[in-house]
Amino acid sequence: MRRWHSAGALRFLIAGFGLGVVALLFTAVVAHAASERKGDLPTWRGWVQARPTGTHIGAWVVGGRTFQADADTELDQEEGPLVVGACAKVKYQTVNGVDRAVEIDSEPPADCGGGGGGATATPTATPTGQPGGSPTATRTPTPTRTATPGAGEDVSVKARVNSMPAGGLIGTWVIGGVTYTTDANTVFRQDHGPFAVGVCVEVEYPSSNPSYAKKIATKSDDDCPPAGGGSSTPTPTRTATPDSGRRQLYGVIESFPAGLIGTWQIGGLAFLADASTQFQQERAPFAVGVLVEVHFTTNAAGVNRALKIESKSAGSGGAPVGAEGHAFGTVETMPTGSLVGTWRIGGVDYTATTATRFEQNDGPLGIGAWVKVEYVQAASGARTAKKIETTSAGGNPTQPQRAKAYGFVQQRPAAGYVGTWVIGGVAYTADQNTRFDETRGLLAVGAYVEVEYVPGAVNRIYKLETHVPPGAGSDDRTGVIQQMGVNSRNLSGANAVWIVGGVSYQVLPATVLDDSRSPLTVGRTAVVNSYVDTHGQRVATQIRGVSLTRQLYLPMLFRRR
């Protein structure tokens, strides 16, 4: 009878299976080396402007750069089809002056800057061992004409105002170096702030009369090349109006068809879903109140066609989407003789209870202290503070008298952008001077936003900017915290690089840092949700501390002869 024995069995296993083990190890090393080589390749991101018809083999134009694809080029269309107008990432090799595409991946529109369809591209090269590291090159090319309109079609131009009529809107405009004439029939829209020299606008004109402006509308600052970016009169991007390109939105489902095909109401907008729409319900089933990500296009008739609808969150801890958030501001009033009671921080009232956590790692809590407050909002709109901590770097408002808050849009103006916004149960007012940034998705009900404002009887918005919602990034990883930026005394969420499980993450003030279950300190384990931004950096939307309570031990068996 054979018995299990250590030394003899070990020699037997090595002798009997040595060649197989060596072969497996060799295969693994070769596969790992190939993977590392692909990871070393330079990367280019941009909108697909041209591609071969009926095949992937041939010339691709991505973000103004031409790549040659062959039979060995790999295509990844998980984020949508690689069609003209899609956001794409190309890994390539340059041989004899020709850029050969090794891999072409479809990417979310946010990875190409949000809006879609333009000629914006960001080349990146991420060094080995530094996932999400800083890119070695970044440039915003001068926009070019991306479509030739047919006879009778209207053309739209996005560029900055060089000059405008004095004392009114009727007369001669110079926009992007091109002269236009307006009259009483021209439509003027100032949804993104007032007209002024240097402001980004969109001009619509008939192809038969390119000097007459049918419509001029202010746009988000990010829709135009940077002011002074190499030319005082940049060449405008000209795109035919029948298709405005791929766009992205995070919003809450208000209504949807029982069979999914039909009209959806999401974030105050209507979307048409058809048989080609991709539906993903991995994180939560579709239901009214669920936060979703929508990729869509808008045609000339103004119809939003949904390319993809993906559920992201049904809320946290049983609370609805938008019930939790955090803010940075100055302590204006606080309880006397105790920390429990009503606090006024950045013009907003918070109730601290015996369950509220207080941290004073960056100075004492007192009137005038700059603090971060994490809160949960009740159905009545009242905010209960979960944590209040002093911080020296959090939030980083552009002026000391301003405050910042991060939360979900619950109400927005019925038309345009000027008016009352309700974010996390607090009303804020946008006026003609407010700046709007929709780089990471459209401003809609359910959007996760950063609001920088001047506290007062009316909280006046200086800037309103969308962010990827907590937990809505495309990647989830668990690892040990190895670095927490330059200031690890508190969890202020200042712009810093964290390293978790060997991966580098950009941590923003918008990032949710959850240490309620386990401390977020070096050496502890955390779960990170993230996405890759237009610069190739991996940005954390949420970092949650977790405790590993179980370990699995596997027995070792040895055969004795």
Domain with residue 483: its CATH number is 2.40.50.140
Domain with residue 173: its CATH number is 2.40.50.320
Burial of 458 (0-12, 13-18, 19+ CB in 10 A): middle
pLDDT for the residue numbered 176: 85
Residue with tokens 């299990």: 4
d(CA 63, CA 54): 21
d(CA 113, CA 45): 10
* Domain match, 420 and 340 both: yes
Question: Where does the pLDDT of residue 554 fall: very low under 50, low under 70, confident under 90, or very high at 90 and above?
Answer: low
Is a pLDDT exceeding 90 seen at residue 217? no
Is a pLDDT exceeding 80 seen at residue 249? yes
* Domain match, 304 and 331 both: no
pLDDT for the residue numbered 449: 92
Domain total for the chain? 6
pLDDT for the residue numbered 267: 85
Burial of 436 (0-12, 13-18, 19+ CB in 10 A): buried
Query: DSSP string spanning 88-136?
Result: EEEEEEEETTEEEEEEEEEE-GGGGTSS-SS--EEEE-PPTT-TTPPPS
pLDDT for the residue numbered 113: 57
Is 132 within the bounds of a domain? no
Last residue of a domain, one of 212, 240, 268: 240
* Domain match, 391 and 440 both: yes
Per-residue b or e along 286-311, where b marks 16 or more CB atoms closer than 10 Å to that residue's CB: beeebbbbbbbbbeeeeebebbbbbb
Q: Is the pTM of this model over 0.85?
A: no
- In 3D space, the residue among 117, 167, 105 whose CA is nearest the CA of residue 146 turns out to be 117
- In 3D space, the residue among 514, 441, 425 whose CA is nearest the CA of residue 473 turns out to be 441
d(CA 304, CA 270): 7
**Torsion angle in degrees (nearest 10) through CA of 406, 408, 414, 420:** -30
Last residue of a domain, one of 313, 341, 368: 313
Q: Select, from the ranges 40-44, 87-91, 546-550, the one with the highest average predicted confidence (pLDDT).
A: 87-91
d(CA 119, CA 63): 5
Is 95 within the bounds of a domain? yes
pLDDT for the residue numbered 528: 92
Amino acid at 532: V
* Domain match, 181 and 210 both: yes
Burial of 162 (0-12, 13-18, 19+ CB in 10 A): middle
Q: Select, from the ranges 145-149, 237-241, 249-253, 365-369, the one with the highest average predicted confidence (pLDDT).
A: 365-369
d(CA 558, CA 8): 8
* Domain match, 51 and 184 both: no
Task: State pLDDT tens for residues 477-493.
Answer: 999 999 887 554 455 55
Per-residue b or e along 187-214, where b marks 16 or more CB atoms closer than 10 Å to that residue's CB: eeebebbebeeebbbbbbbbbeebebbb
Contact 518, 545 (CB under 8 A): yes
Is a pLDDT exceeding 70 seen at residue 233? no
What element of type H or E holds 153? none
For residue 212, what are the β-bridge partners? 181
* Domain match, 215 and 329 both: no
* Domain match, 12 and 69 both: no
pLDDT for the residue numbered 552: 56
Of residues 153 and 268, which shows the higher confidence score? 268
Is a pLDDT exceeding 90 seen at residue 334? yes
* Domain match, 427 and 538 both: no
Is 318 within the bounds of a domain? no
d(CA 373, CA 326): 6
Is 425 within the bounds of a domain? yes
Task: State pLDDT tens for residues 378-388.
Answer: 877 789 999 99
pLDDT for the residue numbered 372: 92
Contact 285, 310 (CB under 8 A): no
pLDDT for the residue numbered 212: 92
The arithmetic mean of pLDDT across residues 435-462, rounded, is 89
* Domain match, 442 and 335 both: yes
Is a pLDDT exceeding 60 seen at residue 218? yes
Is 442 within the bounds of a domain? yes
pLDDT for the residue numbered 406: 93
Last residue of a domain, one of 124, 142, 173: 124
* Domain match, 292 and 354 both: no
Burial of 465 (0-12, 13-18, 19+ CB in 10 A): buried
The arithmetic mean of pLDDT across residues 501-514, rounded, is 89
Q: What is the phi-psi region of residue 185: left when phi exceeds 0, alpha when psi lies from -120 to 50, beta otherwise?
A: alpha
Specify the range with the lowest mean pLDDT, choosing from 54-68, 148-162, 339-353, 509-523: 148-162
* Domain match, 293 and 332 both: no
* Domain match, 387 and 435 both: yes
Contact 540, 505 (CB under 8 A): yes
Is a pLDDT exceeding 80 seen at residue 123? no
pLDDT for the residue numbered 333: 95
Residue with tokens 């969890």: 491
Burial of 281 (0-12, 13-18, 19+ CB in 10 A): middle
Is 395 within the bounds of a domain? yes
Is 133 within the bounds of a domain? no
Is 551 within the bounds of a domain? no
- Domain span at 73: 43-124
pLDDT for the residue numbered 404: 92
What whole-number percentage of the chain has pLDDT above 70?
75
